[in-house]
């Protein structure tokens, strides 16, 4: 992520963040929004509903635990974005950003052996946010203009992702000089370990996940593998951190680490495949499934290998093979509700790739949650795509509207809603939903352009939808005012 840095215009009058005082919560959120806006534009940004649901699920459990422990001040809780942003990178990294944004590389999800290990990293990063570490290191730069601070953080991220190209990313010599000062101190790291450990265990995750992750990092450290583990560069394993970890380990005794579950193995395989979509990697996934002997693997390992094979064959458009591996997977996951759910989502994905939306609908209907249960994001999105293609675009639009009523910042839901409107010939609504896609990703200039196009359509159209036209006018005014605020903030 952050390999692409949009040009940042220099400004003359620089409003300072306050005279050495700590940055306010709303200023930190605005800085976070500014950074997130660039990340959403990055070609490596990926909004995968299935992996997103996995990471967000862990994140929400950790937040609830932090709240219970009094680690999450209500003002932060309400004002911050609390959004996890996934990046397609293969490297192992996660980073907390200002304003409650959190970046996670797919390489981290692929590298961990359990949900608990993933939770340990997220809990550590969450603690950097709740302990206000981020604002403390940023406030040291309080003489910098917000736009420069944002550029510095993006530059530091780009340098961590891609050390070779770092020189090209940094905006000006000033940013280069202060970039080194954006790292957390050793004390902050130890505090994030301590608070994070408490939060993750309170959330019900296995504490051995914390130790397991630490061991993985130590191993990578031994091989000096910071290229694949940029996380190590921002989180050096100091002797104090290792000692703290060893004393926690002794508390836990010698118990075996949490077992690899089928669901985790499948999602780790998905992360690996989405981070490496090249033909060679698709072929390799198929070959390793073909060469694998079931007897030599645990059921969880088999589930991971078959899942990767389905995605590999799907990417190569070898649908018969994909179907065969899906059937193996379906037989394997019977009796494991979480793995069966992931298999159903994968089956629907495959059916859509095979241009068989009817089959996708059937698969998804079989797994419709019980009455009273909320629909999951992957299920809703796959169903919306299937329904939009099978003459049920109106039903798809209705469900998406219900979803968006409480999650207006879900860009992908707006995208699907736009497609559902277009399929019904409701062009004006489709264009407005496109504007909302951009607004949700904080790109207000692009949103304004789409709204202007919608206003033009409304002026020319013979059968104007007056309610929609008035919504468009209201949204235009709101977006214009957000753009003006943005211009002032620089």
Residues near Zn ion (CB under 5 A): 189, 192, 235
Distance CA 428, CA 57 (A): 35
Residue nearer to Zn ion on the CB measure, 235 or 344: 235
| Minimum separation from the CB atom of position 231 to Zn ion (A) | 9
The pair of structure tokens assigned to 137 is 């290191």
Residue nearer to Zn ion on the CB measure, 76 or 458: 76
Task: Name beta bridge partners: 84.
Answer: 102
| Minimum separation from the CB atom of position 140 to Zn ion (A) | 17
Asked if residue 154 lies in contact with residue 41, where contact means CB atoms within 8 angstroms, the answer is: no
SS3 content of the chain, % helix, strand, coil (to 5): 70, 5, 25
Residue nearer to Zn ion on the CB measure, 134 or 419: 134
| Minimum separation from the CB atom of position 189 to Zn ion (A) | 5
Distance CA 194, CA 245 (A): 9
| Minimum separation from the CB atom of position 42 to Zn ion (A) | 22
| Minimum separation from the CB atom of position 437 to Zn ion (A) | 33
Residue nearer to Zn ion on the CB measure, 130 or 412: 130
Residue nearer to Zn ion on the CB measure, 98 or 304: 98
Distance CA 371, CA 97 (A): 38
466-489 and 444-460 helices, crossing angle to 10°: 150
| Minimum separation from the CB atom of position 133 to Zn ion (A) | 8
| Minimum separation from the CB atom of position 153 to Zn ion (A) | 15
Integer CA distances (angstroms), 303 to 143, 203, 307, in order: 53, 27, 6
- Phi and psi dihedrals of 228, rounded to 5? -80, -20
466-489 and 427-440 helices, crossing angle to 10°: 20
Residue nearer to Zn ion on the CB measure, 42 or 189: 189
Residue in the structure block whose two tokens are 């130790």: 211
Asked if residue 319 lies in contact with residue 313, where contact means CB atoms within 8 angstroms, the answer is: yes
Residues with Cβ within 8 Å of 60's Cβ and at least 6 positions away in sequence, in order, are none
| Minimum separation from the CB atom of position 291 to Zn ion (A) | 40
| Minimum separation from the CB atom of position 128 to Zn ion (A) | 5
Residue nearest to Zn ion as judged by C-beta position: 192
| Minimum separation from the CB atom of position 180 to Zn ion (A) | 16
Q: N- to C-terminal Cα distance for the chain? A: 23
Residue nearer to Zn ion on the CB measure, 235 or 383: 235
Distance CA 489, CA 474 (A): 23
Distance CA 58, CA 65 (A): 11
| Minimum separation from the CB atom of position 178 to Zn ion (A) | 19
Residues with Cβ within 8 Å of 358's Cβ and at least 6 positions away in sequence, in order, are 386, 390
Distance CA 147, CA 142 (A): 12
Q: Considering only CA atoms, which of 76, 65, 106 is closest in space to residue 204?
A: 65
Task: Name beta bridge partners: 105.
Answer: 87
Residue nearer to Zn ion on the CB measure, 238 or 481: 238
Asked if residue 424 lies in contact with residue 384, where contact means CB atoms within 8 angstroms, the answer is: no
Residue nearer to Zn ion on the CB measure, 192 or 305: 192
Residue nearer to Zn ion on the CB measure, 127 or 261: 127
Distance CA 98, CA 146 (A): 12
Q: Considering only CA atoms, which of 337, 326, 272, 273 is closest in space to residue 303?
A: 326
Residue in the structure block whose two tokens are 């942003």: 85
Residue nearer to Zn ion on the CB measure, 132 or 383: 132
């Amino acid at each position: 992520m952050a390999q692409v840095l949009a040009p940042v215009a220099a400004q003359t009058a620089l409003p300072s963040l306050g005279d050495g005082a700590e940055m306010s919560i709303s200023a930190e959120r605005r800085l976070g929004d500014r950074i997130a806006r660039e990340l959403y534009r990055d070609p490596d940004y990926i909004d995968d509903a299935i992996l997103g649901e996995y990471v967000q699920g862990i994140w929400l459990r950790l937040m609830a635990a932090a709240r219970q422990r009094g680690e999450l001040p209500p003002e932060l809780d309400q004002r911050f974005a609390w959004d996890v942003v996934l990046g397609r990178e293969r490297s192992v990294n996660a980073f907390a950003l200002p304003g409650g944004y959190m970046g996670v590389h797919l390489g981290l999800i692929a590298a961990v052996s359990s949900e608990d290990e993933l939770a340990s990293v997220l809990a550590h990063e969450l603690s950097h946010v709740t302990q206000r570490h981020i604002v403390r290191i940023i406030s040291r730069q309080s003489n910098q203009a917000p736009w420069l601070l944002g550029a510095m953080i993006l530059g530091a991220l780009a340098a961590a992702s891609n050390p070779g190209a770092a020189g090209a990313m940094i905006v000006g010599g000033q940013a280069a000089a202060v970039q080194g000062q954006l790292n957390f101190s050793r004390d902050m790291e130890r505090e994030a370990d301590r608070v994070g450990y408490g939060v993750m265990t309170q959330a019900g995750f296995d504490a051995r996940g914390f130790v397991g992750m630490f061991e993985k990092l130590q191993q990578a450290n031994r091989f000096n593998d910071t290229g694949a583990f940029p996380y190590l560069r921002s989180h050096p394993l100091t002797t104090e951190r290792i000692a703290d970890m060893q004393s926690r380990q002794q508390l836990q005794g010698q118990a075996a680490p949490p077992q690899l579950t089928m669901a985790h193995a499948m999602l780790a395989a998905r992360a690996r495949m989405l981070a490496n979509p090249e033909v060679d990697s698709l072929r390799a996934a198929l070959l390793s499934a073909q060469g694998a002997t079931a007897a030599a693997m645990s059921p969880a390992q088999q589930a991971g290998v078959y899942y990767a094979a389905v995605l590999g064959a799907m990417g190569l458009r070898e649908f018969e093979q994909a179907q065969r591996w899906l059937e193996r997977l379906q037989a394997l996951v019977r009796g494991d509700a979480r793995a069966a759910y992931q298999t159903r989502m994968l089956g629907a994905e495959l059916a859509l790739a095979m241009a068989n939306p009817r089959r996708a609908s059937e698969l998804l209907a079989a797994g419709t949650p019980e009455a009273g249960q909320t629909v999951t994001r992957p299920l809703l999105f796959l169903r919306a795509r299937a329904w939009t293609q099978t003459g049920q675009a109106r039903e798809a639009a209705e469900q998406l509207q219900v979803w968006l009523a409480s999650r207006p910042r879900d860009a992908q839901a707006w995208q699907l809603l736009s497609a559902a409107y277009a399929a019904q010939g409701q062009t004006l609504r489709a264009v407005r939903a496109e504007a909302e896609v951009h607004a949700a990703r904080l790109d207000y200039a692009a949103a304004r352009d789409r709204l202007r196009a919608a206003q033009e359509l409304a002026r020319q159209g013979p059968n104007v939808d007056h309610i929609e036209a008035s919504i468009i006018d209201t949204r235009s005014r709101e977006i214009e005012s957000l753009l003006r605020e943005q211009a002032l903030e620089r």
